[in-house]
Structure 1
């Protein structure tokens, strides 16, 4: 067993130690310290190793600066898996996505394992449990949060597993009692070194079906029957073989399963006017893939061919659906700073629902990458995929020694359940099991624990954009974030009503180390949104929290949070005050 996380990372560690922590301090802490650390985010991510697939390098020694990336929006494959040798910020072994990128075996001196159980207790008092304008109901809530953090780095097994169920008990509103599950895990088993591997991944989280809550704060105020529990798991055996400096071949199979279900036996979510916009979803996917990638013998030119076929057995629009594609990507390094990117291919898509959606069309894209250093880059593409033209931009820049900038823009065709599967294959995990974007190295809020927008059963054309800038001044860290998301339904599950929804949110987080053992974290957020359950509205949230280590292994939190919101169905503004106090003991 291991001791508790050092207090040098107290605020960030509390994200893992407290899970949701009532939707407050945990999310704030990971944003304020994990994203704002003076060490680049990608450098903080420990490897989940497999085999080393070195990036191609030109004969004159000019580094290409990145691996070939997928030209599709959001950097996910047709089957929802990470694009082959997907573009990453700093090209570091262990920070590129699965299953197409093999990862490096760690140095023997770093191998080992740790097993850290913990137990948390949280008390919450609120004057408006459901965050309503009328008929306000006060309540006192007790949460019991056992946890298990397991990390392993041996010759045959590497990874991290963080699981924390949460039992919630209400003093006044007993109908809201229940158990939620929160999980992040990635494990890689080496069957035959440099040849055969098995990758296992899983995630779980809870969000409010109707949306209307600050993106990183959670769904405090949501009725339990309106909460959606999402669970996603994946197992993928794959093989890798390298033909000297000429080429590397990788092939494998991925089995995915995702379920999204409303709590307390409910199976549909309805608008205030009685229209169904979400019903319980699940699918099992079988994905077969193969890639061939050129080696360093090709010098400045890097080529990659891939074939992917994913078959879905699921509910709603994923009933008898499939995504299949073949493509060839290329990258040519003009010099060490500038590379030209291109892609051509063909795809076949099918989704059920009303109306049925099918695509049989070409794939193409073109773009460029500017590489300023290992930690600073800008990649931009424009192309045709999923039946429409779209752009994709990923950027991660170090501006001096204290400032870090992240930005992303993407557009793709997906469902809510597929987004949960995408998280498994487009992220890696930090040492506490928190997801980190493989494209930029930025910390991520899981899409299925983000309650800003609602959950729908439709196939949607999803557009996302985000930008954040952070500064680290030793005892003080700051992060300013702006995000935008738009969902336009393309095909709808029978029995539900499609609704366009969108949201724009901005937040400012400030973390200050009061002592070596105590940190204060403040958070202010404002957003406007349109969702099926709320219509048009806005939400303002402010929070102040203290995190301290009472003794080695024992951490305490105290938080106050104010939420003020309005929407088309409330007839005015609703205010909610929340006070949280928590303890967590690691063993």
Structure 2
């Protein structure tokens, strides 16, 4: 919660929403409205995400949910930014009125006391921590520029364990520049966060960990691209994306070691050059939507990403049989190469088949089964509104990736709400950033990653209840030389209750239980409980008081490690 308190946008209502979302519990992007005069769009799906999952409606494909032809984006001129890479840029709607800039600086102070700084069973060490949190939130909506930027560094000053004093960086930002209207665009985005290398904490809870076991991840991307529309026949886009990602242990550490003395993570870094071209059918094709795509990504990095590449060509289709039911298909070919032990190579076909059920603009289920990354797998995305008060989200997917690549993927599979929180473009659900999730450990290997999540949230006036379940499994495929890789997995469930006590004060409670298997802790389980009180003292000034209990046991701990944390904070926005 410490970083979320810094995102006060306009009062206690926003604070309550952000606190819930930070715990992985707020499942509706609509909880925080999109930027005025902009639309969060997905356009062409990311690699491995076919047409059936690009949006909640068929507009972007030139096909209405009823299956009949519809003008592109209802407005004649194409809604630029809705096409191709970057797949989810914020783009101004046609003829939108420029709304200018909003710049909101802030300054936060938190006082934290804990009876067990390192969350150990023996040698418990109490500490008092002062956290200084300057922040800058920028939203812009003009004819030439749209986007959100939210940056909050955090200085931690330890009264007892002075070696743990340091600075963490938290960032989310996306900006779309219109260089030449209707033709040339520049997309810039970045993100940063901190997670525990050894895992064993609640997926989205606050961690009080040894700094030398914390990993700071930073990822940035810049992408110039051109878009050209050919009437109602097709739209073509081509461009280049430069990505850079670094994952570094804090306090000068270069690698993380398991309790048995094995290295399972070393600092990672890569620069990627991606060239892409896409062509997508227009409304002249009626019920049928087609997309052809060629993408080549070359990696210059460390470990398994040393001289690696991903290249593929594919054609995807969607045909609306009825307004509620569409069939999906994809065929193509891919070439993959990763370094490591053993080296990993793929030269294979791509295919998938599936269907999409559309109940309303905000309710749909998409499912497909296919072959990609050298193996067969399924993917499911669902977002369903029930009775106006209840929202349900679910996702299941498998992919071949690394920890550093997951940070880069976040930039191309999410958009941001107006407070800078990432939102999944396929379902509209708030996204738990992989580089701030401390549930499982971080490894340097190439892994086959399986993720599954589901959440259901219900609102009753002054109360919001959210139940969430998260599962993740990683199977090593190729290991960085000098490290070992092990299978790891975890399943976690949480329940959050937010209650508005007064128009200016809210209470938020949270309980979580999870089981895990990680190289840093072996097998174990963790209980976490938290209760927080958030109040607006006066316009622009908010106060928080929070208690957190963590109880963890694992193979390398004799008994259970119990940690109590009390946090009191103030944040002033200017």
Alignment-derived partner of residue 35 in structure 1: 27
**Among 22, 35, 42, which residue is 1:46 paired with?**
35
Asked if 2 retains the 8 angstrom alpha-carbon contact of 1:44 and 1:430, the reply is yes
1:325-363: CA deviation from partner (whole Å, max 9, x where unpaired): 000001111010000000000000000000000000000
Task: Quickly say closer, same or farther: Cα 1:48–1:358, change in 2 above 3 A.
Answer: farther
Distance 1:337 1:348, change over 3 A: same
Give 1:254's aligned residue.
241
Q: Does 1:576 align with 2:563?
A: yes
Supply the distance in 2 between the matched residues of 1:188 and 1:375 (Cα, whole angstroms).
25
CA distance in 2, matches of 1:95, 1:442: 19
1:24-61 alpha-carbon deviations (Å, 9 max, x no partner): xx4x454588536xx845x83338969x99xxxxxxxx
Aligned to 1:297, the other structure's residue is in SS state helix
Taking the TM superposition and a 5 Å limit, the aligned residue runs for 1:118-517 are 118-220=106-208, 222-517=209-504
How far apart are 1:194 and its partner, in Å?
1.2
Alignment partner, residue 20 of structure 1: none
- Deviation digits for residues 499-530 of structure 1, max 9, x if unmatched? 11000000000000000000000000000000
Counterpart of 1:87 in structure 2 is 54
2:410 is paired with a residue whose SS is helix
Runs of 4+ more than 2 Å apart? 3-13, 28-36, 43-50, 66-72, 83-86, 88-98, 100-104, 106-110
Q: Name the TM-score, length of structure 1 as normaliser.
A: 0.89
Q: Distance in 2 between matches of 1:29 and 1:366?
A: 33
In 1, Cα distance between equivalents of 2:26 and 2:10:
14
1:346-401: CA deviation from partner (whole Å, max 9, x where unpaired): 00000000000000000000000000000000000000000000000000000111
Q: Matches of 2:25 and 2:207 in 1, distance apart?
A: 22
Instruction: Give the direction of change, closer, same or farther, for the CA distance of 1:246–1:101 in structure 2 (3 Å limit).
Output: farther
Residue 7 of structure 1: which of 6, 11, 27 is its match?
11
Partners of 2:216 and 2:116 in 1: CA distance: 23
Distance (whole Å) between structure 2 residues aligned to residue 514 and residue 356 of structure 1: 58
Deviation at 1:112, TM superposition (A): 1.5
* Deviation for aligned residue 1:323: 0.1
SS at match of 2:92: coil
Query: Mean Cα displacement is larger for which, 571-580 or 519-528?
Result: 571-580
1:206–1:228 Cα contact (<8 Å) kept: yes
CA contact (8 A) 1:310 1:323 kept: yes
Shift, 1:4, TM fit: 6.2
The 3-state SS of whatever aligns with 1:335 is: coil
Q: Structure 2 unaligned runs (5+)? A: 1-6, 60-78
Per the TM alignment, residue 580 of structure 1 is displaced from its structure 2 partner at its CA by: 0.4
Q: Secondary structure at the match of 2:310?
A: strand
5+ residue gaps, structure 1: 16-25, 54-65, 76-82
CA distance in structure 1 between the partners assigned to 2:232 and 2:478 by the alignment = 46
Q: 1:437 to 1:394 in 2, by over 3 A?
A: same
CA–CA separation in structure 2 for the residues paired with 1:97 and 1:473: 39
Checking the alignment, whether the CA contact within 8 Å between 1:158 and 1:189 is kept in structure 2 is yes
- The answer on whether the counterparts of 1:534 and 1:567 sit within 8 Å (CA) in structure 2 is yes
Give the distance between the partners of 1:517 and 1:95, measured in 2 at CA.
Answer: 38
Residue pair 1:88, 1:95 contacting (<8 A) in 2 also: no
Distance 1:296 1:142 in 2: 58
Rounded Cα–Cα distance in structure 2 between residues aligned with 1:290 and 1:47: 30
Cα distance in 1 for partners of 2:36, 2:90 equals: 7
- Over 3 Å counting, the alpha-carbon distance change for 1:433 and 1:102 in structure 2 is closer
1:521 to 508, 516, 520: 508
Contact 1:392 1:411 in 2 (8 A): yes
* Contact 2:88/2:415 (8 A) holds in 1: no
**Root mean square deviation of aligned Cα:** 2.2
- On the 8 A contact 2:254/2:266 being kept in 1, the answer is yes
Residues in 1 aligned to 2:91 and 2:52: alpha-carbon distance in whole angstroms: 13
Q: Secondary structure at the match of 1:44?
A: coil
What is the alpha-carbon distance in structure 2 between the residues aligned to residue 433 and residue 97 of structure 1?
22
User: Alignment partner of 2:261: what SS?
Assistant: coil
Q: Is the 8 A contact 2:88 2:413 kept in 1?
A: no
CA shift for structure 1 position 9: 2.3
The answer (yes or no) to whether the contact 2:221–2:242 under 8 Å persists in 1 is yes
C-alpha distance in structure 2 between counterparts of 1:118 and 1:101, whole Å: 28
* TM-score after normalising by structure 2: 0.91
CA deviation string 1:85-122 (max 9, x = no partner): 95223568788884146654245346221110000000
| Cα distance in 2, alignment partners of residues 68 and 150 from structure 1 | 27
Partner Cα separation in structure 1 for residue 282 and residue 374 of structure 2: 32
Question: 1:211–1:97: structure 2 CA closer, same or farther, 3 Å change rule?
Answer: farther
**Alignment length (residue pairs):** 547
